[in-house]
């Protein structure tokens, strides 16, 4: 099973998608510098990312990173579009969730995590742990609430975090560390369930520089990638475009090695006080199919809820699609759930 590995943001596809949905939506690239000052595990293979370690196992990371993102907002401003922003950790490629949400009046900032895509890629992959990205996302959310990211765009009152897979784990790491001080007004965590250390089998990652030397030949070996993409799709191949797999293979990106053991952060209790929803696709071959975990919603909800004792509300929603909810033909069904949750968390409906 391999429940992770970021999908890279594909800017071109993203902008095309936004255009295809008409001129009602304006998109711009932005780069937001964030200061990350946090303790991380000395050992990047620490399954809990140092969040439960004593001081001797930790080191201080104090770094500035540029977070690249694409900001999209409805051209016609409403309270909904100017008060609330969705921070998407892991962009949804095809069909575009950004365009879907924009058509329904919601703004988004889809970002590349630290180490991925056009955001800063630290020379040393061991600096990039979930705790690093959790801290970076919290800084970014605070920035969105206090500063204008583009001329004419006011700071937002509410930031809802929408995470996908490894992006969800980054948001969880931030929720564990920030607890009631989290800048997020709600969390929508997709394609991610809790895993105890060692529970997830080792996925067949390869050093990115060996996988595709022409793109990644200069990276240190602890930036990894995955060339087996099929588990991210439903087993039924009629449910997605065959071209999608090819496209995915060409647009995949790298992740730091810590993305694998660090998934166990999802087994930690978060004293986060906002509302939380988890979404899993019943056809998700990485975390649902064959595990029995997604067969009984009540049981799954009870298991996951334990980790969020202080959440204002907690729910699990099972959707119809696969792991990468945007890449199969069932995407719109998942998107409609995201929009509903975001509006609900923001108090808009």
Residues that bind ligand NAG (CB under 6 A): 53-54, 56-57, 94-95, 124, 126, 176, 179, 212, 220, 227, 241, 243-244, 246-247, 249, 269, 271
- 64: burial class by Cβ within 10 Å (0-12, 13-18, 19+)? exposed
Residue 287 beta carbon to ligand NAG: minimum distance, rounded to whole angstroms: 21
> Based on CB atoms, which residue is closest to ligand NAG, 126 or 191?
126
> Based on CB atoms, which residue is closest to ligand NAG, 81 or 222?
222
Residue 334 beta carbon to ligand NAG: minimum distance, rounded to whole angstroms: 14
The residue written with tokens 């784990």 in the block is 169
Residue 75 beta carbon to ligand NAG: minimum distance, rounded to whole angstroms: 22
Pairing of strands 186-190, 158-164: parallel
**Two structure tokens written together for 251:** 């647009």
Residue 138 beta carbon to ligand NAG: minimum distance, rounded to whole angstroms: 15
Residue 212 beta carbon to ligand NAG: minimum distance, rounded to whole angstroms: 5
**Two structure tokens written together for 322:** 């696969």
Q: Which residues contact 186 (CB under 8 A, 6 or more apart)?
A: 158, 160, 161, 274, 275, 276, 277, 341, 342, 345, 346
Q: What is the distance between the alpha carbons of residues 13 and 312, in angstroms, rounded to a whole number?
A: 36
The answer to whether 196 and 223 have CB atoms below 8 angstroms apart is no
Q: What is the distance between the alpha carbons of residues 203 and 278, in angstroms, rounded to a whole number?
A: 23
Residue 241 beta carbon to ligand NAG: minimum distance, rounded to whole angstroms: 3
> Based on CB atoms, which residue is closest to ligand NAG, 241 or 267?
241
Alpha carbon 111 to its chain centroid, in Å, reads 9
> Based on CB atoms, which residue is closest to ligand NAG, 83 or 220?
220
């Amino acid at each position: 099973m391999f429940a992770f590995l970021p999908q890279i943001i594909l800017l071109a596809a993203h902008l095309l998608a936004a255009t295809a949905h008409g001129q009602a939506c304006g998109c711009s690239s932005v780069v937001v510098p964030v200061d990350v000052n946090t303790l991380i595990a000395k050992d990047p293979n620490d399954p809990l990312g140092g969040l439960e370690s004593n001081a001797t196992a930790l080191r201080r990371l104090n770094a500035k990173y540029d977070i690249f993102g694409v900001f999209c907002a409805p051209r016609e401003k409403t309270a909904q579009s100017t008060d609330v922003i969705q921070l998407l950790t892991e962009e949804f490629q095809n069909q575009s969730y950004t365009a879907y949400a924009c058509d329904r009046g919601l703004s988004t900032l889809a970002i590349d995590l630290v180490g991925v895509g056009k955001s800063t890629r630290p020379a040393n992959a061991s600096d990039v742990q979930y705790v690093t990205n959790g801290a970076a996302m919290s800084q970014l959310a605070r920035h969105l609430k206090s500063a204008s990211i583009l001329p004419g765009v006011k700071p937002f009152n509410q930031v809802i975090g929408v995470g996908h897979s490894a992006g969800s784990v980054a948001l969880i790491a931030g929720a564990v560390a920030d607890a009631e001080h989290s800048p997020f007004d709600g969390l929508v965590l997709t394609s991610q369930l809790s895993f105890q250390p060692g529970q997830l089998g080792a996925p067949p990652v390869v050093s990115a520089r060996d996988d595709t030397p022409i793109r990644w030949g200069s990276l240190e070996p602890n930036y990894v990638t995955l060339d087996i993409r099929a588990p991210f799709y439903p087993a039924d191949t009629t449910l997605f475009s065959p071209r999608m797999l090819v496209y995915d293979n060409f647009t995949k990106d790298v992740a730091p090695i810590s993305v694998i053991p660090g998934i166990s952060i999802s087994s930690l209790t978060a004293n986060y006080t906002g509302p939380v929803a988890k979404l899993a696709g019943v056809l998700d071959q990485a975390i649902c199919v064959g595990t029995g975990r997604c067969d009984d919603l009540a049981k799954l909800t009870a298991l996951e809820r334990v980790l969020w004792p202080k959440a204002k509300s907690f729910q699990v929603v099972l959707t119809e699609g696969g792991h990468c909810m945007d890449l199969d033909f069932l995407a719109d069904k998942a998107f409609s759930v995201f929009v509903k949750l975001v509006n609900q968390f923001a108090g808009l409906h």
